[in-house]
Amino acid sequence: MNKTVEVLPDQSALVARALELILSKLETAIEQRGRFTIALSGGSTPKPLYEAIGNQKLPWDKIHVFWGDERYVPPDHPDSNELMTRRAWLDRVDIPAANIHPVPTLEADPAQAAAKYEQHLKEFFNSSGAEFPVLDVILLGMGDDAHTASLFPHTEALKVRDRLVTVGNKNESLRITFTYPFINSARSVIFLVAGVNKRPALAQVFAPVADDFTYPSRLIQPQGELCWLLDAAAGSELQT
């Protein structure tokens, strides 16, 4: 694993750096493999990044967008990560509809939805065996409880290691989430973390010893690149 930590002066610098990093990986992926695959996170931090990506002139037909987690609500629900992303970015560019791979959230049973998304990922990446598909970039946020994607502290989702996608839960609200081993199969994982409220969780995630199930972002140890992008409010005093 190649781990880097960058502390940027403020949120706009954080977004600019994240954009630069993603565009560089996009260019390399398209040069080397003819396409770029990215899984997005929800929450508030990445929204200005999605707006910035939507302002770019890119080969949209070569770009495929997935979500690393989703709230288990209809795609027109105000809490939907897909809705936030479409409004901030996808509805503003001519990306083919077939290149947008939303999490199914209208199944009666969330476990069926997780299995359906997993099957879609396997078919898209043409991976049937034990090997996990490899996305070019998985973008993650981190909650102030050190959760990431929808892998919340002390939940069953943290124990799932043999699947790509599972059901997560934040208290009673159900989620669909990539599992941490699937996240760890990505070529690059980029964390975007901003705000002073994230400091205590970051200190635990970066501590030499702490409980992974209490601080789930510690489980993200990809074989490829791990890039932590922090604003100064979150990361200026972090011992890395």
Ligand X SMILES: O=C(O)[C@H](O)[C@@H](O)[C@H](O)[C@H](O)COP(=O)(O)O
Residue 36 corresponds to which tokens in the numbers above?
């770029």
Closer of 19 and 58 to ligand X (Cβ): 19
Q: Cβ 143 to ligand X, closest distance in Å?
A: 4
Q: Which is nearer to ligand X, 54 or 68 (CB)?
A: 68
Nearest approach in angstroms of CB 44 to ligand X is 4
Q: Give the CA distances from residue 114 to residues 1, 45, 89, 143, 167, in Å, rounded to whole numbers and listed in that order.
A: 28, 25, 25, 22, 6
Element holding 77 (H helix, E strand): none
CB of 232 to ligand X, least distance (A): 16
Closer CB to ligand X, residue 40 or residue 131?
40
Amino acid identity of 17?
R
Shortest-Cβ-distance residue relative to ligand X: 141
The one-letter amino acid at 162: D
**Can you tell me whether residue 219 is helix, strand or coil?**
helix
Which two structure tokens, joined as six digits, stand for 181?
Answer: 């081993």
At closest approach, how far in Å is the CB of 20 from ligand X?
19
Exposure of 35 in the CB half-sphere (CA atoms within 13 A): 13
Least separation in angstroms between residue 22's CB and ligand X is 16
The footprint of ligand X (CB under 6 A) covers 41-45, 69, 81, 141-143, 147-149
3-class SS shares of the chain: helix, strand, coil, % to 5: 35, 20, 40
* Shortest distance, position 181 Cβ to ligand X, whole Å: 17
- Going through 60-142 in order, the beta strands assigned E by DSSP cover 63-67, 69-71, 137-140
Q: Which is nearer to ligand X, 30 or 100 (CB)?
A: 100
Phi, psi of 99 (to 5 degrees): -90, 0
Provide, rounded to whole angstroms, the least separation between the CB of residue 111 and ligand X.
19
Nearer to ligand X, 28 or 153 (CB): 153
SS (H, E, C) 11-72: HHHHHHHHHHHHHHHHHHHHHHHCCEEEEECCCCCCHHHHHHHHCCCCCHHHEEEEECEEEC
Task: Pick between residue 44 and residue 240 the one whose CB is nearest to ligand X.
Answer: 44
Is 84 or 208 the residue whose CB approaches ligand X more closely? 84
